[in-house]
Structure 1
Amino acid sequence: MIVMVGIMAVTIIKFEGSPHVPLLVGAAAAAFIAWKLGYKWEVIEEGAYNGIRLALPAILIIIMVGLTIGAWIGGGIVATMIYYGLKIITPSLFLVSISVICAIVSLAIGSSWSTMGTIGVAGMGIGISMGIPAPMVAGAIISGSYFGDKMSPLSDTTNLAAGITGTELFDHIKHMFYTTIPGMGLALIVYFFLGRKFSSSAVDAEKINGVMEVLQDSFVISPWLLLVPVAVVVLVVKKVTAVPALAAGIFLGWACHAFVQGAPLAEAVNTLHDGFVIETGNQMVDDLFNRGGIDSMMYTVSLAIIAMTFGGVMERTGMLKAIVHQILKVARSAGSLITATITSAFLTNATASEQYVSILLPGRMYVKAYRDKKLHSKNLSRALEDGGTITSALVPWNTCGVFILATLAVHPFAYAPYAVMNYAVPLLAILMAFLGWKVEYLTDEQVKELEAKEAEQTETA
Structure 2
Amino acid sequence: MSTNSSAVRLPTSMEVVGLMAGFIAIMFLFINVLSLPIQLALFASWFLVMGLGLRLGQTYHAMQTGLIKGIHNGMEAVLILITVGALIGSWIAGGIVPSIIYYGLNVMSPNIFLAAAFVICAMTSLSTGTSFGTAGTAGIAMIGIGHSFGIPLPLVAGAVISGAYVGDKMSPLSDTTVMTASLCKVDLIDHIKSMMYVSGPACVIAFTMFLLVGFFYVDGSVDTSRADAAMMALEQHFTISPWLLLPAVVVILLLSRRMPSIPVITLGAVLGIICAVVAQGMPTLDAVRTVYVGNAMSSEVDFLNTLLNRGGILSMLEVIALILFALGLGGLMEQIGILQVICNRFLTWANNAGRLTLSTLFGGFFGNFFGGAAYVSLITASTITEKNYDQQGIDRRVLSRNTEAGGTVTTPMVPWSDGGVFMATTLGVSTLGYLPFLWYHFLVLAISLFYGYANIAIWRTESVADESTSLTKAEASS
TM-score interval for Structure 1 and Structure 2 normalised by the shorter chain: over 0.9
Q: Distance in 1 between matches of 2:218 and 2:43?
A: 52
Equivalent residues of 1:11, 1:18 under 8 A apart: yes
Aligned ranges for residues 304-319 of structure 1 at < 5 Å? 304-319=323-338
What's 1:421 paired with?
Answer: 440
What's 2:431 paired with?
Answer: 412
CA deviation profile, 1:85-125 (whole Å, cap 9, x unmatched): 10001111111111111111111111111111122112112
Q: Distance in 2 between matches of 1:350 and 1:275?
A: 33
How much has 1:181 moved relative to structure 2?
1.6
How much has 1:216 moved relative to structure 2?
0.9
Matched, 1:14 2:33: yes
Amino acid corresponding to residue 163 of structure 2 in structure 1 = G
Matched, 1:328 2:328: no
What's 2:277 paired with?
Answer: 258
Q: Distance in 2 between matches of 1:404 and 1:369?
A: 34
Q: Distance in 2 between matches of 1:313 and 1:197?
A: 53
What's 2:364 paired with?
Answer: 345
Equivalent residues of 2:45, 2:329 under 8 A apart: yes
Equivalent residues of 1:135, 1:418 under 8 A apart: yes
1:169 aligned to 188, 209, 227, which one? Answer: 188
Q: Distance in 2 between matches of 1:135 and 1:126?
A: 13
Question: What secondary structure does 2:37 align onto?
Answer: coil
1:393 aligned to 404, 412, 419, which one? Answer: 412
Matched, 1:291 2:310: yes
Q: Distance in 2 between matches of 1:269 and 1:360?
A: 35
Equivalent residues of 1:170, 1:241 under 8 A apart: no
Aligned ranges for residues 138-157 of structure 1 at < 5 Å? 138-157=157-176
What's 1:451 paired with?
Answer: none
What's 2:21 paired with?
Answer: 2
CA deviation profile, 1:367-388 (whole Å, cap 9, x unmatched): 3332222322221111111111
**What number of residue pairs does the alignment pair up?**
447
Q: Distance in 2 between matches of 1:402 and 1:199?
A: 29
CA deviation profile, 1:55-106 (whole Å, cap 9, x unmatched): 1111111111111111211111001111001000111111111111111111
Matched, 1:82 2:98: no
Amino acid corresponding to residue 310 of structure 2 in structure 1 = R
2:44 aligned to 8, 25, 35, which one? Answer: 25
Amino acid corresponding to residue 185 of structure 1 in structure 2 = V
Matched, 1:371 2:403: no
What's 2:288 paired with?
Answer: 269
Q: Distance in 2 between matches of 1:188 and 1:16?
A: 37
Equivalent residues of 1:307, 1:361 under 8 A apart: no
Q: Distance in 1 between matches of 2:224 and 2:178?
A: 35
Equivalent residues of 2:424, 2:431 under 8 A apart: yes
Q: Distance in 2 between matches of 1:141 and 1:105?
A: 11
What's 1:37 paired with?
Answer: 56
Q: Distance in 2 between matches of 1:229 and 1:341?
A: 33
What's 1:109 paired with?
Answer: 128
More divergent stretch after superposition (267-276 vs 254-263): 254-263
CA deviation profile, 1:131-179 (whole Å, cap 9, x unmatched): 2111111111111111122111111111111122121111111111111
Amino acid corresponding to residue 267 of structure 2 in structure 1 = A
TM-score by length of 1: 0.93
Matched, 1:384 2:386: no
Q: Distance in 2 between matches of 1:314 and 1:394?
A: 26
How much has 1:445 moved relative to structure 2?
9.8
Q: Distance in 1 between matches of 2:339 and 2:464?
A: 28
Q: Which one has a bigger Cα radius of gyration? A: 2
Q: Distance in 2 between matches of 1:255 and 1:367?
A: 43
Equivalent residues of 2:366, 2:380 under 8 A apart: no
Aligned ranges for residues 139-288 of structure 1 at < 5 Å? 139-288=158-307
Question: What secondary structure does 1:202 align onto?
Answer: coil
Equivalent residues of 1:130, 1:202 under 8 A apart: no
Question: What secondary structure does 2:407 align onto?
Answer: helix
What's 2:82 paired with?
Answer: 63
TM-score by length of 2: 0.90
Equivalent residues of 1:175, 1:382 under 8 A apart: yes
How much has 1:302 moved relative to structure 2?
0.8
Q: Which runs of 5+ in 2 are unaligned?
A: 1-19, 467-478
How much has 1:446 moved relative to structure 2?
11
How much has 1:31 moved relative to structure 2?
0.9
